[in-house]
Structure formats: structure tokens, C-alpha cells
């Protein structure tokens, strides 16, 4: 699951008809039995297990081996697991909704412009324009002519600055990232946030590592950029020259960027400045002119996440020739919009970012690619239709009951902690009690009435959608935070803890089997969604979340003694996971994954405590399929982590993912729990049981 929302609202965002009326807010309609029965498989299917494996030797294979043998990674993906299965189910449901919307009489130009388009029409028109592959190929890059003309017209650095601002206004984060976000030390207010960025590859390390595999991938990246320029009509020599200059520019930015481990440090990435201070840091970058391009009035305060990056970026800005900047900006444009361009661009983009980088063997079907584009643009429009069809009210009520039970369990555990002193316990309990809980879908839906969607060029819809989102995001700067706002679409198979909001959020997308099954026994549900809930709660108290108080402010509320005790225990988590070697010579980065590992271990313990408390109050459950409630709890936990993964994707994620691989997210936490050992009667000194003096016990 995602941790505190460091991305806030990742800038893809456009104004349209400002006078259109928004639709009335409505609760989701009742969900029919046919939809539910098709989406509720058996809670625990014994055939998904591998009984030939002993639970004390490898519980991950014992619980999931049968499923793993029957579920190879599809050729279009780089991994396949429970998250992907459910995402696929949700996508099929959304596809049906979108196709019906596209076929409805009200879509397209059927109303002849006499009435404001409905949400359903916009979803249908967006989907239809994305699915019209023939029209997209015939149009080529003609819909981008205006954008290319703006880049071609650049004459000096002031023009470069304006064009970077323009591209950012249509959701293309050239050079750096600029968006709104809560002020970490004044969480009631929204502030401008500037942070490192501007790279084409996903992480700085791809540009800086000197091992042979990294060098080879960089060479492939240069070739890829050259091929994309060639698709724009450049001659091979010119395309190659531009590609090398683009990658050289990006490499300069990468070398100035912080590592992913460094980016986890909230305190070091909080650097609030007045506009004059930021201008002094980057003397050749006119911030007043930049924010004006983004249709903002003067911005008084900025959080500059990585000052050293911006100092270096200023040097890059003045040191790189204007013509090289023009090449870089053309690249940023086609790279960011590749998914909505003709097939040649899509295929070349997949050849590098799919095949070369993750090992995926073939392109996803077009309908899946179009749906992926909806998330950052019309995510809540689609989500509103999804929850009306597929999310019953009783699921929300039961999930809330589980959240409250886990909150009580965590409170009991905090009170019983031997390593934490009383003053810190009281602050921790205050923070826990203040947790805001959001389940299923927003109480207030986004208003998309000003967003223009039609059945014209797909890339034009994407650009308008990106601009709409950017404008919506940036207009919040300098205003009080809206605590009712959601940072994730309800159809997402995910959950998150937002430290500055002190909230935990569980979208409707994840509140389905195998994570949550209304027809399952409590043991399986507590092992599944219960551990997810506990995970997100624990993020409020992991190595980064613990630095935020009950109001969501970055504040030191721990006593020195409590900090020291926590640090000693968190070091043990780092050491445990750093000892795991998923691939020969490649260990898990214990520092990078520290927060997620603390949350996995804590979440599992909290969920188990909540289940045991409930069983003691309601009475014990009978065995099902020969398994006790305790055993079913741990099997339920293991099954939500089942996954097959391509080696290339695993290598990539070991370098840049803050989560450990799924196998180790299973065996790592379980091996620390005495309750797990007891439930399956495992012997001491077996692979699934850590020695008592090495077991991690924080929360």
C-alpha cells in the first residue's frame, strides 16, 4: 500500500465550459446480486495451497503454491498477483460501464450541444475517443502541431522558462515538479511545492549506476529517445544527436537528485522559503514569470523539497544551449503523451518501458490502456459510476466496524508497550483517536462540469484533462486545506495513510475479494483487509509517520528516551530485511523499505489482536476446511500477497520500490509472530520462525 501521500496530487490536470451546471450529488444505487455473486469467489480455496510444502519451511509456498503454479504472469504484464487479479476484475467492470456509456444515445454529439453533457456522456466520449485507433493513427501528431510550434518559436531562455511553465500547465513536469500540497508544519494550509524531477526514466539511479546492466539499459534508452524523435520526422543523424543531448541533460538533473532513501526523510525535504529566498537560490529562473504562466498570482511561500537540486537545475538551465532545451521539451511532450498517440509511438514506448525495463512481453489490449488513462484525468467520474454498480452499502459499514476494532486493538497495544514512556504514549493515543477514516468513496464528488470532453482527437482530450487537473490542483495554493478531499480514485485497488491529514483511506476498489469478502468468516477478512487496515494505521507510527502529530503537523512529540527505544527496534527491521536476497547478489534495501516493513509487521499484529479480542467476545469459530480461525487468519494474510513476477521487474523494484517483494512481505512479518508459530505448531529453529532474541516487536 502507499504510505503517506508524498505525491499529494501528482500533477496531471483544464478549463472548459465554466458556466455548465454540476450534477446533483447522489449516493450509489443498490448493488444487484448478479454483480456481487460474480465477484465473490471462495474466501480460502484449498487448491490455491501446496500441501507438499511444510508450513515451517516456506509458508508463502504452502499458502499460495497451487495458485502460483496455475497463474503465470500474463504476457502483457511484468507481475501477476492478488492486486492485479482484482484490478483486472475492476477493469472489466469499468470497461462494461464505459462501453455502455459510449453506446448511449446521450453520448457524442447526440444532444447537438443543447444541454450540458452529463458525467455518463463524458465517460463515454473519453472512452470512445481513446478506442478509435483508426482516427488516432490517421491524425498522427497533427493534434500537437500547436504545441510543437510553441517549442519551435523559442528564441531565448526566457522563452524556455515560459514553455516549461506551459508544459507544466498541461500536466507535463518538465525540469522539475510543481504542485500544491499541505504545509507539513501548518497542515491546515495549502502551500506551493517544488521538487526534483524532469527525468524520462523512473529514477536517478538509472542514470548514475555503473554496473553493466545499467550501462546497457542507458544505451537502450538513448536509442529509444532517438527512435521517438525519428517518428516525428527527424533524420537518423539528427534524431541521434538530439537523443544524446536530451539524455545528457537528464543525467545532469539525475546527478543532482536525491536518492529514494533520502526522499523518505520528511524533515530534510521540508524547506519553506519566501519567494525572495527561492529567487536567490535560483537567480536565473524568474519565478514570478513562471507562476504567471501557470495562471497564478504571486506565490508568497514555497516548500522547496530539495534545494541542492534547484541550485544545480539553475546551472543546467543557463549552461544548456537553447536548441538543446527545445529538443528536451519536444521529448518531454511526446514521452508524456505517448499512450495517446498513434500506434508507432505506443509500440516504441512499450519496447523500452515495457519490454526492456520490466520484461513484459506484449502490449496490453487497447481498452486497458485507455482505462489506465482515465485514472489521473476523470478518475472520480468513472469511480462514481463504478461504486453505484459494484459497492454495496453493507460493505462500507462492515469495513468501518473493522477499522474501529483495529483502532481499539492498536490503542490497547500502545498502552501495553514496555519500551515507550507514558508522555509519548499519551501523544500516540491522541493521534490514534484523531485518525480520520475514509471508506469506499468521497462524500463529496468532484465537479467536472468545466472539463470539455468530446469525440475528437484522443490526445486533445488527454491534454485538456491534464490541464483541468493542474488548474484544480494549483488553485488550492494559499487556501485552507479541504479535509473532505480524496487523493485516490474509488476504483483503485490500494489504500493509503496521509500523514499531513492524519487520515487512512480505503477505496471501494480494494474492499473486495480476496482482500475483503462479505461472505467470508471473520478470520479470513481480518487476515486480509484487516492487515491492510492495520498496515495503514501503523504508517502513522512508522519511522516517518511518527514525526507527524494528531493535527498532521511535522512536529517532534516524542521524548528522547522513546525515540532511542524506537530507533533500536527499527534498526532491527532494517537488518532483517537487508538480509533477504531475492536474487543472487541482490538484497532488499532495508532502509528504503523500512516504513513499509514496519507497517507490515505492525499491521499483522494489530489485525490479529483485533480478531482475538472479537473471538473472545463473540465466541470461537469452528474449523473450516480443517483450519482453525487462527490458521485461516494467517492463510488469509498470505493469499493477499501471492504473486508471480518477472526477474527483470523484480530487479527494477529492488532498486526503487519502497515495498519489499511480496514473498518477503509474507514470510518477514510472520516469522516475527509467536502467535503464528503457535497457530501452526511450528518448531523452533525452522526457516519460518526467527529466534526469540531476533524477533521485531515495535507495535
The rounded distance, in Å, linking the Cα atoms of 282 and 284 is 6
Q: Which of 540, 438, 542, 550 is nearest to 495 (CA)?
A: 438
Burial of residue 479 (CB within 10 Å: 0-12, 13-18, 19+) is exposed
Active site residue 600: yes
The grid coordinates of residue 493 equal 485497488
Question: 3-state class of 512 per DSSP?
Answer: coil
Assign 145 to helix, strand or coil.
helix
Is residue 57 part of the annotated active site? The answer reads no
Which pairs count as long-range contacts for 562-567, CB under 8 Å and 24+ apart, including other chains?
562/419, 562/420, 562/421, 562/423, 562/424, 565/419, 565/420, 566/419, 566/420, 566/698
**Residue 448: CA atoms inside 13 Å, Cβ hemisphere, count?**
27
CA–CA distance, 109 with 607 (Å, rounded to integer): 52
User: Out of 536, 542, 596, 649, which one is annotated catalytic?
Assistant: 536
Please say whether the beta carbons of 698 and 416 come within 8 A: no
**What is the full DSSP assignment across 408-439?**
HHHHHHHHH-SSS-HHHHHHHHHHHHH-EEEE
Q: What percentage of the chain's residues is helix, strand, coil (to nearest 5)?
A: 55, 10, 40
Which 3 state secondary structure label does DSSP give 368? Answer: helix
Pairing of strands 176-183, 186-196: antiparallel
Q: What is the spatial distance between Cα 441 and Cα 490, in angstroms, rounded to a whole number?
A: 5
DSSP sequence for 541-588: TSTTGGGB-TTS-B---S-HHHHHHHHHHHHHHHHHHHT--SBTTB--
Burial zone of 603 (CB within 10 Å; 0-12 exposed, 13-18 middle, 19+ buried): buried
Residue keyed to cell 514496555: 418
d(Cα 515, Cα 79) in Å, to the nearest integer?
18
Tell me the Ramachandran region of residue 222: left when phi exceeds 0, alpha when psi lies from -120 to 50, beta otherwise.
alpha
Q: Could you say which of 250, 600, 643, 649 is catalytic?
A: 600
Element (H, E) at 179: strand 176-183
- Residue 274 phi/psi, 5-degree rounding, is -75, 160
End-to-end CA separation in angstroms for the chain: 18
Say how far apart CA 90 and CA 484 lie, in whole Å. Answer: 25
Rounded CA separation 503/540 (Å): 9
Catalytic center residues = 536, 600
Amino acid at each position: 500500500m502507499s504510505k503517506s501521500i508524498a505525491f499529494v496530487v501528482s500533477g496531471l490536470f483544464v478549463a472548459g465550459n465554466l458556466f455548465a451546471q454540476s450534477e446533483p450529488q447522489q449516493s450509489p444505487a443498490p448493488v444487484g446480486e448478479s454483480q456481487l455473486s460474480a465477484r465473490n469467489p471462495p474466501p480460502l480455496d484449498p487448491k490455491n495451497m501446496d500441501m507438499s510444502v511444510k508450513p515451517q519451511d516456506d509458508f508463502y509456498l504452502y499458502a499460495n503454491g497451487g495458485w502460483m503454479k496455475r497463474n503465470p504472469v500474463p504476457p502483457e504484464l511484468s507481475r501477476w498477483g492478488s492486486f492485479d487479479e482484482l484490478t483486472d476484475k475492476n477493469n472489466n467492470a469499468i470497461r462494461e460501464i464505459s462501453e455502455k456509456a459510449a453506446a448511449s444515445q446521450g453520448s457524442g454529439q447526440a444532444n447537438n450541444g443543447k444541454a450540458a453533457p452529463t458525467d455518463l456522456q463524458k465517460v463515454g466520449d473519453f472512452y470512445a475517443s481513446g478506442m478509435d485507433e483508426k482516427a488516432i493513427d490517421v491524425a498522427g501528431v497533427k493534434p500537437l502541431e500547436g504545441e510543437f510550434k510553441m517549442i519551435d518559436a523559442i528564441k531565448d531562455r526566457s522563452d524556455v522558462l515560459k514553455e516549461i511553465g506551459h508544459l507544466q500547465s498541461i500536466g507535463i513536469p518538465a525540469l522539475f515538479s510543481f504542485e500544491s500540497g499541505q504545509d507539513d508544519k501548518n497542515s491546515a494550509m495549502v502551500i506551493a511545492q517544488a521538487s526534483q524531477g524532469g527525468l524520462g526514466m523512473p529514477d536517478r539511479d538509472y542514470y548514475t549506476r555503473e554496473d553493466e546492466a545499467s550501462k546497457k539499459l542507458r544505451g537502450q534508452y538513448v536509442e529509444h529517445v532517438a527512435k521517438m524523435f525519428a517518428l516525428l520526422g527527424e533524420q537518423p543523424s539528427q534524431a541521434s544527436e538530439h537523443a544524446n543531448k536530451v539524455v545528457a541533460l537528464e543525467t545532469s538533473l539525475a546527478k543532482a537528485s536525491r536518492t529514494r532513501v533520502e526522499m523518505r526523510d520528511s524533515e530534510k525535504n521540508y524547506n519553506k522559503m519566501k519567494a525572495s529566498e527561492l529567487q536567490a537560490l535560483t537567480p536565473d529562473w524568474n519565478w514570478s514569470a513562471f507562476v504567471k504562466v501557470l495562471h497564478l498570482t504571486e506565490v508568497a511561500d514555497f516548500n522547496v523539497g530539495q534545494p541542492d537540486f534547484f541550485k544545480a537545475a539553475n546551472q543546467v538551465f543557463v549552461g544548456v544551449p537553447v536548441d538543446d532545451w527545445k529538443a528536451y521539451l519536444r521529448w518531454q511532450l511526446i514521452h508524456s503523451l505517448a499512450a495517446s498517440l498513434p500506434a508507432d509511438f505506443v509500440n516504441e514506448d512499450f519496447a523500452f518501458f515495457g519490454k526492456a525495463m520490466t520484461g513484459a512481453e506484449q502490449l496490453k489490449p487497447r481498452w486497458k490502456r485507455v482505462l489506465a488513462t482515465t485514472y489521473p484525468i476523470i478518475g472520480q467520474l468513472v469511480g462514481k459510476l463504478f461504486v453505484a454498480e459494484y459497492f454495496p452499502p453493507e460493505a462500507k459499514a462492515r469495513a468501518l466496524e473493522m477499522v474501529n476494532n483495529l483502532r481499539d486493538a492498536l490503542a490497547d497495544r500502545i498502552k501495553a508497550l514496555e519500551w515507550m514512556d507514558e508522555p509519548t504514549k499519551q501523544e500516540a493515543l491522541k493521534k490514534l483517536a484523531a485518525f480520520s477514516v475514509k471508506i469506499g468513496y468521497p462524500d463529496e464528488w468532484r465537479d467536472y462540469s468545466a472539463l470539455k470532453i468530446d469525440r475528437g482527437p484522443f490526445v486533445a482530450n488527454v491534454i485538456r484533462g491534464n490541464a483541468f487537473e493542474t488548474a484544480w490542483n494549483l488553485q488550492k495554493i494559499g487556501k485552507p486545506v479541504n479535509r473532505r478531499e480524496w487523493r485516490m480514485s474509488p476504483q483503485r485497488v490500494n489504500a493509503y495513510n496521509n500523514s499531513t491529514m492524519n487520515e487512512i483511506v480505503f477505496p471501494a476498489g480494494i474492499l473486495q475479494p480476496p482482500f475483503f469478502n462479505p461472505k467470508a468468516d471473520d478470520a479470513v477478512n481480518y487476515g486480509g483487509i484487516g492487515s491492510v487496515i492495520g498496515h495503514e494505521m501503523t504508517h502513522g507510527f512508522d519511522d516517518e509517520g511518527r514525526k507527524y502529530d494528531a493535527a498532521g503537523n511535522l512536529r517532534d512529540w516524542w521524548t528522547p528516551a522513546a525515540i532511542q527505544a524506537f530507533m533500536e527496534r527499527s534498526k532491527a527491521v532494517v537488518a532483517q530485511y537487508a538480509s533477504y536476497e531475492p536474487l543472487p547478489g541482490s538484497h532488499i534495501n532495508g532502509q528504503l523499505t523500512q516504513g513499509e516493513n514496519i507497517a507490515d509487521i505492525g499491521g499483522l499484529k494489530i489485525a490479529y489482536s483485533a480478531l482475538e479480542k472479537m473471538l473472545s467476545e463473540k465466541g470461537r469459530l469452528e474449523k473450516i476446511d480443517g483450519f482453525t480461525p487462527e490458521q485461516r487468519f494467517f492463510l488469509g494474510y498470505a493469499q493477499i500477497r501471492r504473486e508471480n513476477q518477472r526477474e527483470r521487474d523484480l530487479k527494477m523494484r529492488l532498486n526503487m520500490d519502497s515495498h519489499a517483494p511480496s514473498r518477503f512481505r509474507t514470510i518477514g512479518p510472520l516469522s516475527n509472530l509467536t502467535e503464528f508459530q503457535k497457530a501452526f505448531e511450528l518448531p523452533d529453529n525452522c526457516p519460518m520462525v526467527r529466534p526469540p532474541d531476533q524477533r521485531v516487536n515495535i507495535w
